[in-house]
Amino acid sequence: MKLIFEKSVPGRDGYSIPKDLFDDIKAEELLPDKYLEDNKKNLTEVSEVDVIRHFTKLSKFNYGVDDGLYPLGSCTMKYNPRINEKMSSLTNFIYAHPLSSLELVQGSLEIMYFLNQMLCEITAMDQYTMAPASGAHGELTGILIMRQYFLDHGEKRFKMLIPDSAHGTNPASAAMGGFEVVEIKSNQNGTVDLESLAYAMDEQTVGLMLTNPNTVGLYDEGIESIERIIHQKGGLLYYDGANLNASLGIIRPGDAGFDVVHLNLHKTFSTPHGGGGPGAGVIGVKKNLIPYLPTPLVDFDEETKKYIFKEAGAKSIGMIRSFWGNFSVLVKTLAWILSLGPEDLYQCSKTSIINANYVLAKLKRYFKPAYDRYCGHECTLTGREYKKYGIKTLHIAKRLMDYGFHPPTIYFPHFEPYAEETIMIEPPESEGKEILDHFIAVMIKIAKEVAENSDILKSAPHKTPISQADDALAVKRPILTYDDELELKDELNYQEKDIDF
């Protein structure tokens, strides 16, 4: 497909504007030199229909949750109900300026105040901050709260324990917070090895960052022992809620002894993320950690009967971003919670767990599970049995694209000896049995292709707009502009007949 620049025809346009009345005014007399460009940038000259058809065709090359199953493990790519979008796009919200007088944004403040109460009830925490802009940003916020707590108590703890099955950004967040990361290996069941944890936990350790269910989709059966090990040495328990979709109405992190809880509203609570963004990685804490939350917090003044911003106090970690968070995500989250209610929130997690175990049961004969046991909301299979045919998990993922499915997460998590050549599949509650059966049938067909015609997998995909790319070259030399394309064509001596750009 040609770029829009290649469709340009001199003199063609898709608009007309009235002749202005300022012919005698010269821009250079009105604008500072720094705003004037000597080299005129020529825009593409195309008609309106050219533009519409070009970008409509491009949009059909895309794949998202509105097209079909998006089985990215550890990502919870569920359908985002349109009612959420409608609520967040009300003019009362989209035209509310963050510097508005509080009297003019009482409704917006009420939403944040009420959402805080809802999330506290769902997770058994005492206070949330809505400020973090993403999951990793939320992790860093939680880490800084934990650090501030120990500094306030005069304890110079410098180590953070993180299981090898934790969410991928945990080690980076802990390191950015100034802590030394200590990895805790998993046992043969895919969960935290309690003996290793007890050995590593000491008075120099801040605590443990735990993802539960973990990043291979397994609930940690030793959660009560984990809580005792950490708290007996004065540490704090951090709950990475990236996988909370398996826990709604089933378990509340606060009841299990967690001190800090991080939630990805853009995952569990059904607001667009990835290419659809933005995110919101809100952080909840128990009562003893509230003084260390970012400032300000939303509160209700009983005297004036108005919602206000309240300073968190002298012990606060301060502001962690400008203004008050990605507000549209908060509106969508509250709309989703209220539209479902307690019973249907529980049903969401129940259905996602059933979906994942259904896929696991149907496919484990063809793709050996990393851990052959009941899982949470996602299952981890492997393609390691097919390496003898020269087929890798990557080939399987690319072949799926030929059958109209987005590939699942591959090669993550990866910790030997149990999880090699991994395929992590998360079929959220928004997917019905029919689509799961179709996906399962395609996966089985691919498994049979390995032995019958492995070459077709090695060269896949075949039916996508761009065929199999050179992964290394794509990383090293991304085509971001038209000039990049021309330069790469010239450098590699590509001809149009050899490659379709």
Strand partners, 72: 425
Span 110-338 CATH architecture: 3-Layer(aba) Sandwich (3.40)
CA atoms within 13 A on the CB side of 220: 25
Share of the chain above pLDDT 90, in %: 73
The tokens describing 177, both together, are 């917070």
State the pLDDT confidence band at 336, using cuts at 50, 70 and 90. very high
Domain extents in the chain: 4-61, 110-338
482 CB-near residues (< 8 Å, 6+ apart)? 3, 5
Strand partners, 81: none
Report pLDDT for 496: 45
For 296-323, give the secondary structure using H, E and C. CEEEEECCCCEEEEECCCCCCCCCCCCC
* pTM as predicted: 0.89
**Average confidence score pLDDT of the chain:** 91
> Among residues 177, 193, 213, 175, which one has the least CA distance to residue 380?
213
- Confidence check: pLDDT of 499 > 60: no
Q: What is the pLDDT of residues 403-457, one digit of tens each?
A: 999 999 998 876 666 678 999 999 999 999 999 999 999 999 999 999 899 999 9
Q: What is the pLDDT of residues 464-488, one digit of tens each?
A: 888 888 888 878 887 777 677 777 7
Report pLDDT for 455: 94
Bigger pLDDT: 30 vs 209:
209
DSSP label of 191: S
Report pLDDT for 498: 42
